[in-house]
Amino acid sequence: MKFSVFASGNGTNLQAIIDAVKTGEIKAELGLVFSDNKKSLALKRAEEAGIKTLCLEYRNYTNKQSFDRDIVIALKEHEIDFVVLAGYMRLLTPYFVEQFPRRIINIHPSLLPSFKGIQGIKDAFTYGVKTTGVTVHFVDEKMDHGPIILQESLKILSNDTLESIEEKIHKIEHRIYPKAVQLFVEGRLRIKGRKVIVLDEPQFF
């Protein structure tokens, strides 16, 4: 299988995925890294790893669907089977999701459905919850909403700061995201309603 990673920023989750592909933890080809930000460090990480890159910036388009349409065209040209969002800061249009049904995965730094949005870590910390964590889920038309693949919790200690929680969250992300991607590659994820069942044997879509 061949997949693409979408990233808008530093690309630390992308780096974890690149490393997992190199070691064979993820048994699939990372065929393209896409960013909507030409200054994204993720693009540099991909280039240094010898991975093809594409950057399209939304400001050059008149609407979201035309932007996503050009991305889809590029993905199909590169024969991409599924998409992994790794710090991609733009909400995908229904059109895009329809092109890759049950083939888009995202990671979010909270225990969904709590603390959706781009500041999940800060929102959880500020709210004062005692437990937060990381969620890997399938993507649908709504923000941070699709069926959950994996979750891992993290206790917030009395001496934790926002910075220390961010560091702990990122360590969890870098560990569980490659695992979730490989479960997809192996065809071991079956969606039943809002639940994702991890199978012992492959179940290909």
CATH number of the domain encompassing residue 146:
3.40.50.170
Within a domain: 167: yes
Within a domain: 102: yes
Per-residue pLDDT band at 100 (split at 50, 70, 90): very high
For residues 143-162, average pLDDT? 97
Instruction: Please give the positions annotated as active site.
Output: 108
For residues 48-65, average pLDDT? 95
Share of the chain above pLDDT 90, in %: 97
Strands of 2-6's sheet in order across: 53-55, 29-35, 2-6, 82-85, 104-108, 131-138, 148-155, 195-198, 189-192
- Return the half-sphere exposure (C-beta side, CA atoms, 13 A cut-off) of residue 16: 23
Question: What pLDDT was estimated at residue 81?
Answer: 98
For residues 80-107, average pLDDT? 96
For residues 145-161, average pLDDT? 97
| Beta strand spans in the chain (E) | 2-6, 29-35, 53-55, 82-85, 104-108, 131-138, 148-155, 189-192, 195-198
Cα separation, 152 vs 200, in Å, equals 20
Within a domain: 18: yes
Phi-psi region of 28 (alpha: psi -120 to 50; beta: other; left: phi over 0): beta
Within a domain: 75: yes
For residues 77-88, average pLDDT? 97
Question: What pLDDT was estimated at residue 75?
Answer: 98
Question: What pLDDT was estimated at residue 200?
Answer: 84
Within a domain: 203: no
Question: What pLDDT was estimated at residue 86?
Answer: 97
Question: What pLDDT was estimated at residue 197?
Answer: 95
Share of the chain above pLDDT 70, in %: 98
Lowest mean pLDDT among 14-23, 58-67, 74-83, 106-115: 58-67
Domain that holds residue 11: 2-198
Average pLDDT, the chain: 96
Report which DSSP code applies to 5: E
Question: What pLDDT was estimated at residue 43?
Answer: 97
For residues 50-56, average pLDDT? 97
Q: pLDDT tens-digit profile of 157-204? A: 999 999 999 999 999 999 999 999 999 999 999 999 999 999 986 655
Question: What pLDDT was estimated at residue 202?
Answer: 60
Structural domains counted in the chain: 1
Q: pLDDT tens-digit profile of 9-24? A: 999 999 999 999 999 9
